[in-house]
Structure 1
Amino acid sequence: MTLEQFTRNEGQLARQYQYDDSAVLAVDFGGHEIEATVDLVDDTVIVVADDQQYEFDLPDGADDAHTFMKNGVLTVELEGDL
């Protein structure tokens, strides 16, 4: 599932910020009251939020990725030739 499909189908608000050699993806899962965890397996971001699992693939060219959740917002920091 791509990020665009994920947000369109599930109704989450998502933004992508592009920089010279990096990018940041941010997805709002609905506030701090949601219990969510995030994991990165190979090139796939996996989020478990309130007994629902969401997955999306990192963009081609992403060499390094860091993920974290804070107040219901998933942030994925990407480095590489995006």
Structure 2
Amino acid sequence: MNQPQHTGRTERFVRRYDYDDETVVAADVDADEDAVTVDTVDGTAIVVVERDGGEEEFELELPGPAANVDTQNGVLTIRISQ
């Protein structure tokens, strides 16, 4: 299943994909991998993006604990095992 969502003050685009063995949450962070920090606590991902000397922080609700977190080409991908 594909569920579009928006989060944060800037209405960041987030999409959730549900598969048989995992759920994938993808968010457009529009930043290089080195500029993105993600901490996960249970079903919440706390994302910090460094931009032009400042930081932007937002949270994503996850359907469970994250199994894998990756950022490539400005897209944050969080995989949650079922």
Q: TM (normalized to structure 2)?
A: 0.68
RMSD (Å) for aligned C-alpha atoms: 2.6
Is the contact made by 2:16 and 2:24 (CA closer than 8 Å) also made in structure 1? Answer: yes
* 1:6 pairs with 2:7: yes
The amino acid of 1:58's aligned partner reads L
Higher relative contact order (CA 8 A, sep 6+): 1
Question: Hey, what does 2:28 align to over in structure 1?
Answer: 28
- Alpha-carbon spacing, 1:64–1:32, altered in 2? closer, same or farther (3 Å): closer
Structure 1: where are the runs of 5+ without partners?
A: none
Equivalent pairs counted in the alignment come to: 75
- CA deviation after TM superposition for structure 1 residue 37, in Å: 1.2
Q: Which structure: greater strand fraction?
A: 2
Is the contact made by 2:21 and 2:81 (CA closer than 8 Å) also made in structure 1? Answer: yes
- Counterpart Cα distance in 2 of 1:40 and 1:66: 10
Structure 2: where are the runs of 5+ without partners?
A: none
The amino acid of 2:44's aligned partner reads T
The 3-state SS of whatever aligns with 2:7 is: helix
Is the contact made by 1:38 and 1:69 (CA closer than 8 Å) also made in structure 2? Answer: no
* 1:56 pairs with 2:60: yes
Aligned counterpart in structure 1 of residue 73 of structure 2, from 48, 64, 71: 71
